[in-house]
Amino acid sequence: MSITTVNTTPFPGQRPGTSGLRKKVAVFQQAGYLENFVQSVFDTLGDCGGKTLVLGGDGRFHNRVAVQTILRMAAAHGFARVLVGQGGILSTPAVSCVIRKHGALGGIVLSASHNPGGPDGDFGIKYNIANGGPAPENVTEAIFQRTETIAHYRISDAADIDVNRLGPTRIEQTEVTVIDPVADYAALMERLFDFDAIRQLFAGGFRMCFDGMHAVSGPYAKAIIEGQLGAPAGTVINAVPLEDFGGHHPDPNPVNAAQLIEIMAADNAPDFGAASDGDGDRNMILGRKFDVTPSDSLAVLAAHATLAPGYRAGLKGIARSMPTSRAADRVAEALGIPCFETPTGWKFFGNLLDAGMATLCGEESYGTGSDHIREKDGLWAVLFWLNLLAVTGKSVEQLVSEHWKRFGRNYYSRHDYEAVETEAANELMASLRIKLATLKGQDLGHHVVALADDFDYTDPVDGAVASRQGIRIVMTNGSRVVFRLSGTGTEGATLRVYLERYEPDPAFHQLPTQQALYPLALIAEQVAGIADWTGRAHPTVTT
């Protein structure tokens, strides 16, 4: 074995987005493309000698090839130890867990999350820092700047190692240890939740369906839900991670998790349904013929948090992304704790969690988590719900309906316009920004505008400022329309339009969601001219 220095030239466009660098597989397969980005990460970190790195991904196509490349580069940069998940597999929450437990310098996550996989699909890479969370913007910007000037990368010429075999081996002077991807994470979950109560729930005939979507959370759910908690075999479906996710889109929403939706809508449906996404950090929660919005899920968990052993001491605060509904705000007010409104992107929660200012966090795109790690965590949310169901003896629908009766209902929906021509999407947002100054006080379809702005955020911990994080139009009655361009796609732009209406009267809590929000959808079209800019009469996906 020897370490070589390879001359290279920069690739354009290696700026990490909301959740790292995401491109088509074919882009990552270009000679030197992955190496350039990884070298830029290591250059930004500085001296890696004697440090520990965590490495793993969601098992999508190109994952195994990328793992071997990164192992050889880590060895060339003097890491003392690399912990890699067996088979190259580690869910994003598990990466955060392992970083924190083993005191690693950080970790590399190989995933494009909920984006499609396979040879023609997407691939992604991101760096998580020592607290286990996604690198903050100052780090990702430094990585990007390095990609613009990179002239060489360093790599060992060692042969591939067997990542299927547990235990240590060596590349150069680096110890590479293949670890059980589930063990550390499962141990953490057992400390947080009442596993005995959940075992009794299943022993009493409670039925559940968890859809692993042929993604990374399948093995975790099998090991914990069926293995440790005693759910019957077959409770977890689509449990084996596949490089193309079985040809499906691994995004846990009512459109892409159609099989689970059908199961839970049947007359003989299980009591509880759940799904997670490509890298295991998102969740969808379902009752029998009843679905729970991510915003309501966060609020319900917060309202009942002390029923779980890991949260018996109560919550220090709640944090939510700006587009997420205000349901959690009402819980925070009742508990007498702060509720922080941040930009979209889990990295913005990191400082609040590290400073002990927040305990639970959530974002509208099916992401929920807490201070147990520094990532959103799909299976954690599912186990939290199981804990509540076991302790209260109530159904999912009962818990949510009682929550609405106490706090009011925040009708909420997200309309996604995917793969919109990028220039048109940017022009739509630019035209909205021009209108902001004139919107306040306007009467829009029986709604009067109280606030219209482009959301800016100042971090209460370190004072960092994030600007232009989404356009908000807030009505005097609390209803909202929010416009945002997503940073997680790889083709064109995704325009996200968020609609929210607060309804305090229980007599109006059973309206179909899209019916309740239809007047706000009309306002969104009226103000933004979505059809004219995008050429779309309807959203691609409505959740």
Distance from C-alpha of 298 to C-alpha of 318, rounded to nearest angstrom = 9
- The number of helices, as runs of H, and strands, as runs of E, in the chain is 17, 27
Query: For residue 109, which phi and psi values (nearest 5 degrees)?
Result: -105, 125
| Contacts (Cβ under 8 Å, ≥6 apart) of 267 | none
The pairing of beta strand 208-211 with beta strand 272-276: parallel
Of the candidates 479, 458, 488, the residue with the CA atom closest to the CA atom of residue 363: 488
For residues 155 and 69, give the distance between their C-alpha atoms in angstroms, rounded to a whole number: 8
Pairing relation of β-strands 81-89 and 152-156?
A: unpaired
CB atoms near residue 541 (< 10 Å): 17
Q: Which residues pair with 454 in a beta bridge?
A: 471
Rounded to 10 degrees, the C-alpha dihedral 167/171/173/178 comes to: -20
For the chain, first and last CA: distance in Å? 52
Q: What is the CA radius of gyration of the chain?
A: 23
CA angle 297, 212, 320 (to 5 degrees): 25
Half-sphere exposure of 44 (CA within 13 A, CB side): 26
- Secondary element (H or E) of residue 63: helix 63-76
395 is catalytic: no
The answer to whether the beta carbons of residues 3 and 148 sit under 8 Å apart is: no
Helix 378-392 and helix 294-303, axial crossing angle in degrees, nearest 10? 50
Among 156, 149, 116, which residue's Cα sits nearest to residue 14?
A: 149
Q: Which of 250, 251, 186, 247 is nearest to 219 (CA)?
A: 186
At 355, give phi and psi (nearest 5°): -85, 0
Which of 139, 156, 168, 170 shows the shortest CA–CA distance to 42? Answer: 139
Pairwise CA distance, residues 63 & 87, whole Å: 9
Specify whether the CB–CB gap between 500 and 491 falls below 8 A: no
Task: Tell me which amino acid residue 276 is.
Answer: S
Q: Strand, helix or coil at 428?
A: helix
Amino acid at 11: F
Active-site position among 19, 113, 370, 479: 113
Beta bridge partner(s), residue 211: 237, 275
The amino acid at residue 519 is P
| Catalytically annotated residues | 113
